[in-house]
Amino acid sequence: MSERLRHLGDEELGATLARLGEDVDYPATPDLAAAVAERLERERVRPLGRRWWSLTSRGRALAVAALALVLVMAGSLVASPTLRRAVADALGVLGIRIEMVEQSPEVVLGTGLRLGQPVTLEEAQARVDFVLVPEVLGEPDEVYLATVDGVESVTLLYSARPGLPESTHTGAGLLVTQFRGTFETDLAVKEIAPGTRLEPIDVDGRPGHWIEGDPHVIVYRDRRGAIREDLTRLAGNVLLSERGEITIRLEGALARSTAVRIAGSLR
């Protein structure tokens, strides 16, 4: 009865707990050693400290300097072992690609800075009904339209300028991408590289996410339930926020407060 337990001193209660611990029927321990060794061999990782993902200065000459993976999955996705396996395999595949990058950049992620079809702002506004422009920055230097998995997206590109440090060798300072679709609100992050962090933050009263650290790929589920992949193109941070049904991504070598301010000024 609990009565007896309640009156036990620390030592006796501890002993009871230890016996309980011994009696727990654990499932058999899986052979993790083989799985771990296999993954490490596949990725041909060397633990060179926190920056091991980074390629050397040669990597910076490419559109995407280094990869870390941040997997963003809705609660329901995490429950699917099949998806988890698929994603784990994708990690391994991407790991191999990192190695190949130094020889043939085109193979990398297939995107480089490919943002879609260059258009004028007016054209973009005519074609899609949701183009928002950050008032504090004014009109973008370049605008791109793309359709990915049937979803139209608009990317505004702002060149590097005071306050918007250059993120890659191409001179781009900030990318503002918008598309119809939202992240599920209950996000979980599976952090792969130690250098990448995701935090939920408030953007103008709406829920958003701040992702800091190495360039990364986000895998997420859109409102239609489809799995999508989203790759960062600049070496910098990402702010994700929402306006109704539109998801907005700000990407650049920005401080968080700057990004929030810019996002807050979207009209």
Partner 1 sequence: MEGRPLEDEELVERARKGDVGAYEQLVRRHQEGAFRIAYLIAGATGDAEDAAQEAFIKAYRSLDGFRRGGSFRAWLLAIVANEARNRVRSASRRAGLALRASRIRPSGDAAPSPEEAALAASERDALLAALAALREGDRIVILYRYFLGLDEGEMAEALGVARGTVKSRLSRALARLRKALPAEEPQEAST
Least Cβ distance, residue 96 to partner 1 (angstroms): 16
Residues 6+ apart with CB under 8 A from 33: none
Stretch that binds partner 1, among 121-129, 159-167, 183-191, 233-241 (CB under 8 A): 183-191
Instruction: Pick the stretch among 18-26, 131-139, 140-148, 177-185 that binds partner 1 (CB under 8 A).
Output: 18-26
Helix (H), strand (E) at residue 117: strand 117-119
Name the nearest CA neighbour of 217 among 121, 125, 98: 98
In the structure encoding, which two tokens stand for residue 127, read together?
A: 């074609």
Strands 142-148 and 237-243: unpaired
Residue 30 is encoded by which pair of tokens? 């899986």
**Calpha distance 186→181 (Å, rounded):** 15
* Residue 266 Cβ vs partner 1, minimum distance, rounded to whole Å: 29
Nearer to partner 1, 80 or 111 (CB): 80
Which H or E run contains 200? strand 197-203
Nearer to partner 1, 53 or 210 (CB): 53
- Residue 21 interacts with partner 1 (CB under 8 A)? yes
Residue number with CB closer to partner 1 (30 or 150): 30
Q: Which of 70, 193, 234, 238 binds partner 1 (CB under 8 A)?
A: 193
Q: Determine which residue in the list 26, 56, 150, 244 makes contact with partner 1, applying CB under 8 A.
A: 26
Residue list 77-136, contact with partner 1 (CB under 8 A)? 78-79, 81, 84
> Do 228 and 219 contact (CB within 8 A), yes or no?
yes
Alpha-carbon span 238 to 200, nearest angstrom: 12
Distance of CA 131 to the CA centre of its chain: 23
CA distance 113 to 116: 9
Q: In the sheet where 187-191 sits, what is the strand order?
A: 187-191, 68-74, 216-221, 227-231
- Nearest residue (CB) to partner 1, 131 versus 192: 192
Q: Which of the ranges 42-50, 121-129, 201-209, 217-225 carries the binding residues for partner 1, by CB under 8 A?
A: 42-50
Minimum Å distance from CB 67 to partner 1?
13
Q: Kindly tell me which residue out of 55, 66, 73, 217 binds partner 1, with binding defined by CB under 8 A.
A: 73
- β-partners of residue 224 are none
3-state DSSP call for residue 35?
helix
Tell me whether residue 41 or residue 102 sits nearer to partner 1 (CB atom). 41
The residue ranges that bind partner 1 (CB under 8 A) are 1-6, 8, 10, 13-14, 16-21, 23-27, 29-37, 39-41, 45-50, 52, 73, 75, 78-79, 81, 84, 186, 188-191, 193-194
